[in-house]
Amino acid sequence: MLPLIAQVALDVPVPRLFDYVAPTLTSADVGRRVCVPFGRKEFIGVVLSLSRESAHPRDQLKTITAVLDDTPLLSAEILKLLRFCSDYYHYPLGATVLAALPTALRRAQTATLKTIDSWQLTTSGQTGGADLPQRAHAQRALFTLLQDGAAHTASELATASAGYRSTIKHWRELGWVTQLSQPAPLNAIPVNADIAPTLNAEQLQATNQISAALGKYQPFLLHGVTGSGKTEVYLHLVQAVLAQGGQVLILVPEINLTPQLTGVFRARFPAVEIATLNSGMADGERLHHWLAAVDGRARIVLGTRLAVFAPMPALALIIIDEEHDSSFYQQDGLRYAARDVAIMRAHQRSCPIVLGSATPALETWHNAQSGRYQRLSLTQRAIAAATLPQVRMIDQRTQKLTDGISPALATAIQRRLDTGQQSLIFINRRGYAPTLVCRACGWAAGCPRCSTRLVVHLRERQLRCHHCGYAERVPHACPDCGNLDISPSGLGTQRVEEGLQKQFPTARVLRIDRDSTRRKDSWPEMQQSIRRGEVDILVGTQLLAKGHDFPNLTLVGVVGADSALYSPDFRASERMFAQLMQVSGRAGRAQHPGEVLIQTEFVDHPLYLALQQHDYIGYARTLLNERRSAGFPPFIHQAVLRAEAPQLVEAIAFLNLAKAHAPVTSAVTVFDPTPATMARKANVERALLLVQSTNRRTLQQFLGMWMEDIYTLRASKLRWHLDVDPLEI
């Protein structure tokens, strides 16, 4: 019989698969990696199906050159999920499939679990060892260790006898020991086990409801105020799943949160292997953890958005912590929202999924209101003595600011210093100041490559672009008029840090932003030192807002937040409200009550009033009403076609051409192309075309037809991509 023909997924920007003759393959090989010739190169691909026929004449087909790995790495289940993603996001299937593999597997190397050798005494070793002469101390020590019959690793043997190597070699020749090779443990450093606290009534109720849904698809929104103990609910759920032999997938927003949360889970389940997956890991390390998820050895898989594609044979529960976080959106290549993909995965797998947040995304909240998701609430802080902080406004118009800090805020900081408590000043802008301006002629330092201002980084004496990485020295005079009186304008973390250090010379001030935490371990180290009480005042960006628990922190000051109130982005208020609620949630999480002071010029703004009342529900209602009447998501479904070219006119011309090819239907609105909010970025000019519909299915059908045409359009010197359910327009 003729060999089968494999349909192979390749990472190429063409929306189709490629046929190859597959002499040794059978239908059991779907999901396996293969090497194939493509053009003049070898590519790594994944077999998606096998058939007898091809649309191309058989003698024109090339043959698979190698089959990698012992078994398929991508299960039928994951391939189904990837097909869904490719369809829904209108991204080529081949590129989608390859994007789900860890980088190491996109190269032609065999996927093998890292192993570790160990040695075990045989029966003849047990008898032989008993006769070792008394004076052979080192050998006897080794024998004593091995006598328990368990396999021992090199490092264990070394503790008994430094020269264990030669002894073991000799004993193997005698047949006294056998050598075993086991998968290397994922978590090498031991932890101290902790003890589960008794759940409070609301936590118990949530845990019971979710556990009762194990084995079927059911999405839950766990809406719990900051400090209400959502993590404890997750831990109890994981306990329940582990008891049934299942695997749990936990998605977290930040690479920085993975070590912290991994620590929490390891302490609760010291005997369980936990795989961590995030883009900050070395390729080999990530591969090792990924394979442990694939072979089921890792019962818990904890990672950032990319972990949503990790194959898990016994997956029984998905948890998304801080589900509202924008880092669940992948912004290049396959542009997906990990939260939405996870919902689909739970649906296909028939397992429950828990979305946890104090400030759910409005889309999620809307789904909970309409009953598509079941809502579970934690309304109280978990630690009996802890209450939600008191939130007050400081009217900035009546106070003179010193480096952004009002006298009222300074007094509150001083009180914390006097009582040995910690303060956090939140300002969501890194650098010293957002711009450098000339007071004489109005010049402002702009990025030569982007349509944006350069940020002053005084410590490094640089002006930097936060969008493209461009940097130059701070000039001494205005390049336009020669005036020497040019000065930083506005506030950034460095400036606030410097100002606080001046006002409180003996206080220990620590700045936490992307600049100060760039080095790999610096943020975990900083967290430790905050916990040890080595810091009095923290100054930081939204990095600080996410999920941290610093028991001695009792004051949060918010500086320079007003600007977000007038952003053209319709999601700006939602994002700002969530951010401020989260950052407020850092205050008073243990025995001391917390206080939040917000400096603003708009003390009566509804956003601030809602914050003062800790009223997520009321503010969500307000925002959803606004969205409904303005026709914004979640009441409308959007997609954006984006084009990038050396000149804006080219990008616009392409989008006009694309618009001309749009299928005609009254159910989808196709807007005119417009320049992007930031029209120029890194010397590339950008434009976009928005399409929307009140019906998701209709929009999907439209996009399906439209994309087929768009792939055939000539687009020289131009890049384009489609963004479905875009986070920003």
Read off the DSSP letter of residue 341. Answer: H
CB of 389 to ligand ADP, least distance (A): 13
Contact with ligand ADP (CB under 6 A): which of 149, 175, 197, 407?
197
Nearest residue (CB) to Zn ion, 465 versus 539? 465
Which residues lie near Zn ion (CB under 5 A)? 438, 440-441, 443, 447, 449-450, 465, 467-468, 470, 478, 480-481, 483
User: Residue 224 interacts with ligand ADP (CB under 6 A)?
Assistant: yes
Closest CA to 207 of 338, 317, 84, 48: 317
- Per CB under 6 A, the segment of 198-206, 336-344, 465-473, 646-654 that binds ligand ADP is 198-206
Closest CA to 557 of 544, 571, 575: 544
Residue 257 binds: one of Zn ion, ligand ADP, none (C-beta under 5 to 8 A by kind): none
Nearest residue (CB) to ligand ADP, 584 versus 599? 584
CB of 321 to ligand ADP, least distance (A): 8
- How far is 489 from 361, CA to CA, in rounded Å? 33
Nearest residue (CB) to Zn ion, 446 versus 634? 446
How would you classify the pairing of strands 422-426 and 537-540? parallel
Q: What's the alpha-carbon Rg for the chain, to the nearest Å?
A: 29
Residue 256 binds: one of Zn ion, ligand ADP, none (C-beta under 5 to 8 A by kind): none
User: Residue 10 interacts with ligand ADP (CB under 6 A)?
Assistant: no
Nearest residue (CB) to Zn ion, 449 versus 605? 449
How would you classify the pairing of strands 115-121 and 177-183? antiparallel
Sign of the dihedral defined by the CA atoms of residues 131, 136, 140, 142, in that order: negative
User: Residue 96 interacts with ligand ADP (CB under 6 A)?
Assistant: no
- CB atoms closer than 10 angstroms to residue 633: 16
* H or E, element range at 176: none
User: Residue 553 interacts with ligand ADP (CB under 6 A)?
Assistant: no
- How far is 57 from 38, CA to CA, in rounded Å? 17
How would you classify the pairing of strands 684-693 and 637-645? antiparallel
Both tokens of 355, joined, read 């979305």
Residue 440 binds: one of Zn ion, ligand ADP, none (C-beta under 5 to 8 A by kind): Zn ion
Contact with ligand ADP (CB under 6 A): which of 32, 90, 230, 614?
230
Query: Residue 428 burial by CB count (10 A; 0-12/13-18/19+): exposed, middle or buried?
Result: buried
Residue 450 binds: one of Zn ion, ligand ADP, none (C-beta under 5 to 8 A by kind): Zn ion
Contact with ligand ADP (CB under 6 A): which of 226, 256, 494, 584?
226
Nearest residue (CB) to ligand ADP, 296 versus 524? 524
How would you classify the pairing of strands 115-121 and 152-153? antiparallel
CB of 206 to Zn ion, least distance (A): 46
CB of 346 to ligand ADP, least distance (A): 21
Q: CB of 36 within 8 A of CB of 20?
A: yes
User: Residue 715 interacts with ligand ADP (CB under 6 A)?
Assistant: no
Both tokens of 696, joined, read 């998701």
User: Residue 202 interacts with ligand ADP (CB under 6 A)?
Assistant: no
Cis peptide before 646 (omega within 30 of 0): no
Nearest residue (CB) to ligand ADP, 382 versus 433? 382
- CB atoms closer than 10 angstroms to residue 612: 16
Nearest residue (CB) to Zn ion, 338 versus 438? 438
User: Residue 232 interacts with ligand ADP (CB under 6 A)?
Assistant: yes
Closest CA to 627 of 665, 566, 571: 571
Q: CB of 234 within 8 A of CB of 250?
A: yes
Residue ranges in 381-533 assigned as alpha helix (H): 407-419, 493-503, 522-531
| Residue matched to tokens 């003849």 | 124
Q: CB of 518 within 8 A of CB of 481?
A: no
User: Residue 611 interacts with ligand ADP (CB under 6 A)?
Assistant: no
Nearest residue (CB) to Zn ion, 114 versus 449? 449
Nearest residue (CB) to ligand ADP, 251 versus 684? 251
- How far is 256 from 356, CA to CA, in rounded Å? 18
Q: What is the DSSP string of 494-533?
A: HHHHHHHHHHSTTS-EEEESTTTT-STTHHHHHHHHHHTT
* Complete edge-to-edge strand list for the sheet that includes strand 33-38: 18-22, 4-9, 41-51, 33-38, 66-67
Amino acid (one-letter) located at 446: G
- How far is 154 from 164, CA to CA, in rounded Å? 8
CB of 107 to Zn ion, least distance (A): 33
Both tokens of 344, joined, read 């689909």
CB of 380 to ligand ADP, least distance (A): 10
| Residue matched to tokens 């006294």 | 176
Contact with ligand ADP (CB under 6 A): which of 31, 45, 219, 227?
227
Closest CA to 302 of 251, 348, 240, 365: 251
Residue 465 binds: one of Zn ion, ligand ADP, none (C-beta under 5 to 8 A by kind): Zn ion
Read off the DSSP letter of residue 149. Answer: -
User: Residue 357 interacts with ligand ADP (CB under 6 A)?
Assistant: no
- Per CB under 6 A, the segment of 9-17, 180-188, 192-200, 617-625 that binds ligand ADP is 192-200
CB of 230 to ligand ADP, least distance (A): 4
Q: CB of 703 within 8 A of CB of 90?
A: yes
Map residue 326 onto helix, strand or coil: helix
CA dist 623 → 374, 516, 724, 727 (Å): 21, 35, 22, 16
Query: Residue 474 burial by CB count (10 A; 0-12/13-18/19+): exposed, middle or buried?
Result: middle
Q: Which residue is nearest to ligand ADP (CB)?
A: 229
Q: CB of 128 within 8 A of CB of 174?
A: yes
CB of 258 to ligand ADP, least distance (A): 15
Nearest residue (CB) to ligand ADP, 23 versus 197? 197
- Per CB under 6 A, the segment of 7-15, 126-134, 199-207, 337-345 that binds ligand ADP is 199-207
Nearest residue (CB) to Zn ion, 390 versus 483? 483
Binding to ligand ADP by CB under 6 A, coded x per residue (else -) over 366-405, reads: ----------------xx----------------------
User: Residue 557 interacts with ligand ADP (CB under 6 A)?
Assistant: no
Q: Give residues with Cβ within 8 angstroms of 617, minimum separation 6.
A: none
User: Residue 200 interacts with ligand ADP (CB under 6 A)?
Assistant: yes
User: Residue 203 interacts with ligand ADP (CB under 6 A)?
Assistant: yes
- Per CB under 6 A, the segment of 229-237, 240-248, 369-377, 654-662 that binds ligand ADP is 229-237
| Residue matched to tokens 């084995």 | 215
- How far is 224 from 227, CA to CA, in rounded Å? 8
Both tokens of 488, joined, read 């930083």
Residue 527 binds: one of Zn ion, ligand ADP, none (C-beta under 5 to 8 A by kind): none
Residue 404 binds: one of ligand ADP, Zn ion, none (C-beta under 5 to 8 A by kind): none
- Per CB under 6 A, the segment of 15-23, 194-202, 300-308, 642-650 that binds ligand ADP is 194-202
Residue 197 binds: one of Zn ion, ligand ADP, none (C-beta under 5 to 8 A by kind): ligand ADP
Residue 480 binds: one of ligand ADP, Zn ion, none (C-beta under 5 to 8 A by kind): Zn ion
Nearest residue (CB) to ligand ADP, 200 versus 656? 200
Nearest residue (CB) to ligand ADP, 384 versus 660? 384
Strand partners, 510: 538
User: Residue 93 interacts with ligand ADP (CB under 6 A)?
Assistant: no
Residue 478 binds: one of ligand ADP, Zn ion, none (C-beta under 5 to 8 A by kind): Zn ion
CB of 308 to ligand ADP, least distance (A): 21
Contact with ligand ADP (CB under 6 A): which of 86, 161, 187, 231?
231
User: Residue 199 interacts with ligand ADP (CB under 6 A)?
Assistant: yes
Binding residues for ligand ADP, rule CB under 6 A, total 16
- What does the binding site for ligand ADP look like in residue numbers (CB under 6 A)? 197-200, 203, 224, 226-232, 382-383, 549
